[in-house]
């Protein structure tokens, strides 16, 4: 009542808005002032105005009212069966822009659900899903994963891992190497051993005498950009650097290299998504770039 009276400057105007009688509002204001042992209002002719104490307390009362509205809205949200939070785990190798766009779109429809986004590398997203630490994952996919758990999946994006070298690391200026022997004096930059015992050396077809292994693709990119060696990187993460010529794609004739694949939207088959989670699942599928 105090906030309404203060904002309207009149007990009679506040009575109409609050559907109360003027005496009831006057009694409530007097009780509030007695409890606080402060004078909050004084009358100037026909209009009420705030005392210094009233002006200071008004901001606090307005804040508390907003908080009450927020709490009431959350209570309604939870009572309706909507989730308090949805956890999305994605691999850094996946295209991130459609992921962020999907979360933003769904958050606008369900603003009171908290969205937890976590990035993983080396197939950590699948591991977290199996451990129950995520609702939905975006991960590179191989059918062997069906041996680990019962999954539901949808296509999300395609990726290609390419071999690159920084222009400053070229053995001969402006001459792109054709054979690994031309650059095997440089460290090979590659991911650390990934989960589930995948054989990276077998996948990449080459065991370098000198290696630097990273466990993060952004660290991998930074190492490549610092001309620390040559190595593997998802093509979509270095498209700008390839376009400017800072990084150069290698097509080495003596390495059997084919690392194209797909990322999928994944959830455990026995995990029933709530309303918000299901909406995020469908929105991710809609924004898929896999086609």
pLDDT digits (tens, 9 = 90+) for 136-179: 999 989 888 888 899 999 999 998 888 899 999 998 877 888 88
CA distance linking residue 135 with residue 85, whole number of Å: 10
What structural domains does the chain harbor? 2-79 (1.10.10.10), 85-157+262-286 (3.40.190.10), 160-259 (3.40.190.10)
CA distance linking residue 41 with residue 55, whole number of Å: 9
Residue 169's pLDDT is what?
A: 92
Q: What is the C-alpha end-to-end distance of the chain, expressed in Å?
A: 59
pLDDT digits (tens, 9 = 90+) for 75-131: 555 566 678 889 999 998 888 889 999 999 999 988 888 899 998 877 889 999 999
Q: Assess contact for 115 and 68: CB atoms under 8 A.
A: no
Residue 102's pLDDT is what?
A: 95
Residue 207 has pLDDT above 70, yes or no: yes
- pTM of the predicted structure, to 2 decimals: 0.64
Local confidence band at 196 (pLDDT 50, 70, 90 cut-offs): very low
Fill in the DSSP letter of residue 192. P
CA distance linking residue 273 with residue 153, whole number of Å: 13
pLDDT digits (tens, 9 = 90+) for 232-263: 888 999 999 999 999 999 988 877 665 788 89
Local confidence band at 7 (pLDDT 50, 70, 90 cut-offs): confident
Residue 195 has pLDDT above 60, yes or no: no
CA distance linking residue 22 with residue 31, whole number of Å: 14
Q: Assess contact for 284 and 102: CB atoms under 8 A.
A: yes
């Amino acid at each position: 009542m105090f906030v309404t009276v203060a904002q309207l400057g009149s007990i009679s105007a506040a009575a109409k808005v609050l559907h109360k009688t003027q005496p009831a509002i006057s009694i409530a204001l007097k009780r509030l002032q007695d409890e606080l042992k402060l004078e909050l209002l004084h009358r100037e002719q026909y209009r009420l105005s705030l005392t210094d104490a009233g002006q200071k307390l008004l901001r606090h009362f307005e804040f508390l009212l907003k908080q009450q509205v927020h709490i009431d809205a959350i209570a309604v949200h939870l009572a309706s069966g909507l989730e308090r939070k949805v956890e999305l785990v994605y691999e850094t190798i996946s295209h991130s822009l459609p992921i962020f766009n999907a979360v933003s779109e769904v958050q606008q429809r369900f603003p009171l659900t908290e969205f937890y986004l976590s990035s993983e590398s080396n197939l950590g997203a699948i591991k977290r899903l199996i451990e129950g630490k995520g609702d939905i994952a975006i991960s590179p996919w191989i059918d062997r994963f069906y041996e680990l758990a019962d999954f539901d999946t949808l296509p999300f994006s395609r990726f290609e891992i390419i071999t690159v070298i920084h222009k400053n690391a070229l053995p001969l200026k402006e001459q792109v190497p054709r054979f690994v022997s031309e650059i095997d004096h440089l460290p090979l930059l590659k991911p650390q051993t990934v989960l589930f015992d995948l054989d990276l050396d077998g996948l990449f077809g080459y065991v370098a005498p000198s290696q630097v292994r990273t466990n993060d693709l952004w660290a991998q990119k930074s190492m490549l950009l610092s001309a620390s060696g040559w190595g593997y990187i998802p093509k979509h993460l270095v498209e700008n650097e390839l376009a400017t010529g800072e990084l150069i794609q290698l097509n080495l004739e003596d390495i059997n290299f084919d690392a194209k694949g797909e990322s999928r939207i994944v959830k455990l088959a026995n995990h029933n998504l709530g309303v918000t989670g299901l909406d995020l699942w469908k929105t991710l599928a809609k924004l898929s770039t896999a086609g």
